[in-house]
Amino acid sequence: MSVIYDRVALIGLGLIAGSMAHAMREGGLAREIVGFARSAETRDIAREIGLCDRIEDSAEAAVAGADLVVLAVPVGAMGDVAAAISPHLKTGATITDVGSVKQSVIDAVGPHIPQGVHFIPGHPLAGTEHSGPRSGFATLFRNRWWLLTPLPDSDPEAVARLSGLVRAMGAKTDTMEAGHHDLVLAVTSHAPHLIAYTMVGVADHLRRVTDEEVIQYSAAGFRDFTRIAASDPTMWRDVFLHNRDATLDILGRFTEELFMLQRAIRMEDGQQLFDYFTRTRAIRRGIIEAGQDTEAPDFGRVAMTPKP
């Protein structure tokens, strides 16, 4: 592969940015990778493990001269970060993000983008329950979707260049309107995460079941709920607050479905339950056929922790 961007600045050094650094280095996709994290401890760890070619102590210094700037911070912090780095962005540079919500990011970041800088919001649909600078690995994005939500006036060449980087890191890419993205993700990610948090919370508050029983006798379904619920709390707090309308819409629909299932169970309507489970089972088959998972147990994972 060849170099796509001379200098890439990663603002935030968690799982996604760290995996980008590993993937770009493995593929020779950037001549220089510069990083910044708000926490001094995170910066020290990043330096220790050689995550980037250079770690700066300010976001302003990190973006200076960068051809691509990646905002990999919680959604709620993106506006403030964009305001801080705005005067230091190179003319002709591209700025993107990896947030799970797109419209609120556009609203927060867009006003701070100077003339001559290309803003192309994005969202890699990849992750684990791990976080921090040590959590990244080069293969995280392979065969996963990376959605871009260009603005109406986005430069086609800049979009194509960013798409090329995404594909070179192993991901599949598509473009989508921001509002539609937020609705789709409310269905496929945000509401399921909230439900997982809720189920783990129910187990915690159900005092007739002891903590030891919950831990020792966890069936696969509950184990997977706890894996999801182990995700970064700051990130998910911001996701729900910034995708409020779509998430509430989907949760309302979920509640209606739940009431229907409650009635079927109460009325001992086995046929309705069977038909419902048959329809929903087909969704799982579709995910496997799309190459987004395997039929192996534990979501196709052969190890509990990511490996480079």
Quick check: 225 and 199 in contact, CB under 8 A?
Answer: yes
CATH annotation of 180-300: 1.10.3660.10
Per-residue confidence at 235, pLDDT binned at 50, 70, 90? confident
As a whole number of angstroms, the distance between CA 120 and CA 109 comes to 11
* Between 102 and 129, residue with greater pLDDT: 102
pLDDT tens readout for residues 250-259: 888 888 888 8
Name residue, tokens 């339950």: 273
Distance of CA 283 to the CA centre of its chain: 21
Between 7-11, 48-52, 231-235, 302-306, the lowest mean confidence (pLDDT) is in 302-306
Q: Which two tokens stand for residue 143?
A: 């065969």
What is the rounded average pLDDT of the residues 203-229? 60
The pLDDT of residue 308 is 44
pLDDT at 307 > cutoff 50: no
Quick check: 14 and 72 in contact, CB under 8 A?
Answer: yes
pLDDT at 304 > cutoff 50: no
As a whole number of angstroms, the distance between CA 55 and CA 59 comes to 10
CATH annotation of 5-176: 3.40.50.720
Domain ranges of the chain: 5-176, 180-300
pLDDT tens readout for residues 253-300: 888 888 888 888 888 888 888 887 887 777 777 767 777 665 655 544
The pLDDT of residue 279 is 77
* Between 65 and 270, residue with greater pLDDT: 65
